[in-house]
Structure 1
Amino acid sequence: MDIYLHFKDQAAEAITFYEDVFKTKPAQIMTFGQMPHDDNTPVDDSIKDLVLHANLQINDTNVMISDSPESLTSPRVIGNNVALVFNAKTAGEALEIFQQLAENGTVLLPLEKTFWAELYGMVKDRYGVNWYINFL
């Protein structure tokens, strides 16, 4: 299963943030301006630099990311119906990632010991994405 995250004009910024937090390889990014030219459907200059599609590998998960300009899609609603679960390899990694995601975000459940995990916490990052950080 892959994950697809849609942003409103912040995809490039979010990609850089996630690359740093999860220490990933740089994402493969295509902008709207890089799409093949089509005279019947020209790309508006205001969206040429926005992310059409990107692939970011976080551990073994492919996270696809794009901007969703309202001129091309229905309005994007940030909701609580999707959360990404990151299974840390060490307690230190769990703490570091949780703290970085919480910066300018909201801690929903502090990172702490639970009956099922050594550490578990929930955070909504600065882009409104819910993350569950797990260290078993």
Structure 2
Amino acid sequence: MDIYLHFKDQAAEAITYYEKVFKTEPAKIMTFGDMPHDDEHPVDENMKDLVMNSNLKINDTNVMISDSPEGMAPPLIIGNNVALVFNAASVEEATEIFQLLAEKGIVLLPLEKTFWAELYGMVKDRYGVVWHINLY
């Protein structure tokens, strides 16, 4: 299980801060500008340098960090900027867990293939906990 922290245009600053605090190796960072080009969903110039995803290792925990630009992510409210990440072992496991979490919850991003994962989706469960479901 991993942890995901979302920020409003401060992810790069937060990453640098946490690297210093926890004396970690430099995080692996992908910006929105690093995404493959998509004519149907072009990346706004103002977002190209924002962090789309990063992975910071603190002890044995993966702490993923990203910016949450308006229109590309659910609105960021301090308190909902922490999510739990479940890394599934199979399509069946990812699908079952996603569907169970979605019961009486809200699908924020449907479970589907992305350029970084075989399956990825985001769901807020019935208790308000946000989950990222991954299958790499």
Question: Shared fold (TM-score greater than 0.5)?
Answer: yes
What's the counterpart of residue 20 of structure 1?
Answer: 20
Q: TM-score, normalised by structure 2?
A: 0.58
CA distance in 2, matches of 1:81, 1:66: 10
Residue 70 of structure 1: aligned partner: 70
1:50 correspondence with 2:73: no
Percent of aligned pairs sharing the same letter? 76
Q: Relative to 1, partners in 2 of residues 1:39 and 1:77: Cα closer, same or farther, differing over 3 Å?
A: same
Larger Rg: 1
Report how far residue 80 of structure 1 moved.
7.9
C-alpha displacement at 1:74, in angstroms?
A: 2.0
Report the 3-state secondary structure (helix = DSSP H, G, I; strand = E; otherwise coil) of the residue aligned with 1:5.
strand
Structure 1 vs Structure 2 CA RMSD: 1.9
Provide Cα deviations, 1:26-47, integer angstroms capped at 9, x if missing partner: 0000000000011111100010
- What is the number of residues matched between the two proteins? 83
- The alpha carbon displacement at 1:81 in A equals 9.0
- Specify the SS of the correspondent of 2:56: strand
Change in CA separation of 1:81 and 1:20 when aligned onto 2, cut-off 3 Å? closer
Contact 2:7 2:81 in 1 (8 A): no
Which 10-residue stretch deviates more, 33-42 or 11-20? Answer: 33-42
Q: Which 4+ residue blocks in structure 1 deviate beyond 4 angstroms?
A: none
Q: CA deviation at 1:70?
A: 1.1
The residue matched to 1:75 in structure 2 has which SS? coil
| Post-superposition offset of 1:56 | 0.2
Rounded Cα–Cα distance in structure 1 between residues aligned with 2:38 and 2:80: 37
Equivalent-residue separation in structure 2 for 1:25 and 1:78 (angstroms): 27
Task: Provide the rounded CA distance (Å) in 1 between the counterparts of 2:65 and 2:78.
Answer: 14
Cross-structure match for 1:127: none
Pair 1:14–1:36, CA change in 2 (3 A): same
